[in-house]
Amino acid sequence: MPIGRVGLVVHGGRAEAVDGARIVRDWCARHGIGCVDIDVWHGHGSRHSPSEEVQAAGSPDLIVTLGGDGTFLRGARIAAQKDIRVLGVDVGKVGFLTETPVGDVERALDAVHAGKSECEERMTLTMRASRLLEMPSQVEEVLCYGRGPALPPPQPQTGPAEDDPWGIALDVTALNDIVVEKLARDHQVSVGVYFAGRLLASYSADGVILATPTGSTAYSFAAGGPVLSPRMRAVVFTPVAPHMAFNRTVIANADEPVALRVLPHSGRAAVSVDGQPRGILEPRDWIGVIAAPRPLRLVRLTPANFYGRLRERMRLTDAPATAADGEAAPMFRPASPVPDDLRHYQLPPAP
């Protein structure tokens, strides 16, 4: 589908991102396409909600982000509201989400406009809660020190019903993770963790992470969790520094809801979505994390090479005792036709 309107999310602190944004604006002007900067900051001391951001942008059909993964996550939060495609232009250092170099941005826009690009779908998470989340001003000052104001607490998708045992469906989209973590340095958070309505265990920990496969290379990975293919649909539960013998990650299927209840003796807990503080949980509060109904659609010029990117970004090296493998990768893509029993597998394109 040709591009009708472009929204720009730019990391203004990086000269390369600012230069790339200028290239996008010039390309849009040459093609008679509307282009609007999406300002995730609003005035002084406040921020737009995702719904307000997409409305202010005039509902573009392509969002271009220029920066690292943090900038991309800002654009993704907006795009998920209206099923908008996202093109991530990479000027970061360790990112997994942005793959188009700044030098290729015009070629990427040409391909999208001509219908010659692909869309890769990524699972996202959403959330229900026992009550509407709040962010006390004194807590926001601590959680967001040096980062500017927090996003507004998430609003209900429909009218709030505090007494509904299913909780309140919140306007939340997480591409990477939803995290519940302690507020006080000397008081861990204690949570009961439920998979598909059944108690797994009660944890006393610095925090717990619920991640998507995309987010498995983010905070969950740093906390010792596994790396999952971003093509999967699963919810990755990883505890952070738990005070118990069982400290392993548990992976749930995407259709299995995961609930976290803050136990009565616990300290208060902070809820973050993709690294953004969004509210505070008191003892006896709970949240439920589920797969969102709509995936995020990432623009790709070529088929994704997640494992090559993993090797590059994590600087993986081969065991010293092994000899370099100079042969072609097994089952990579020989020149001969694909056998019938392999046609349904994800294989790279023919050379």
Residue 14 to residue 322: CA distance in whole angstroms: 41
Residue 318 to residue 135: CA distance in whole angstroms: 47
Residue 99 to residue 260: CA distance in whole angstroms: 34
274 a catalytic residue: no
As a whole number of Å, the end-to-end CA separation of the chain is 27
CB atoms within 10 A of CB 245: 6
8: helix, coil or strand? strand
- CA atoms within 13 A of residue 215's CA, in its CB half-sphere: 29
- Choice among 69, 90, 177, 285 that is catalytic: 69
Tokens coding 255: 């259709």
Q: Which residues of 266-301 are buried (b: 16+ CB within 10 A; e: fewer)?
A: bebbbbbbbbbbbbbbeeebbbbbbbbeebbbbbbb
Judge contact between 268 and 66, C-beta under 8 A: no
Going by C-beta distance under 8 Å and a sequence separation of 6 or more, which residues neighbour residue 291? Answer: 123, 124, 125, 126, 233, 235, 254, 255
- CA dihedral over 122, 275, 129, 249, signed as positive or negative: positive
Q: Annotated catalytic sites, by residue?
A: 69
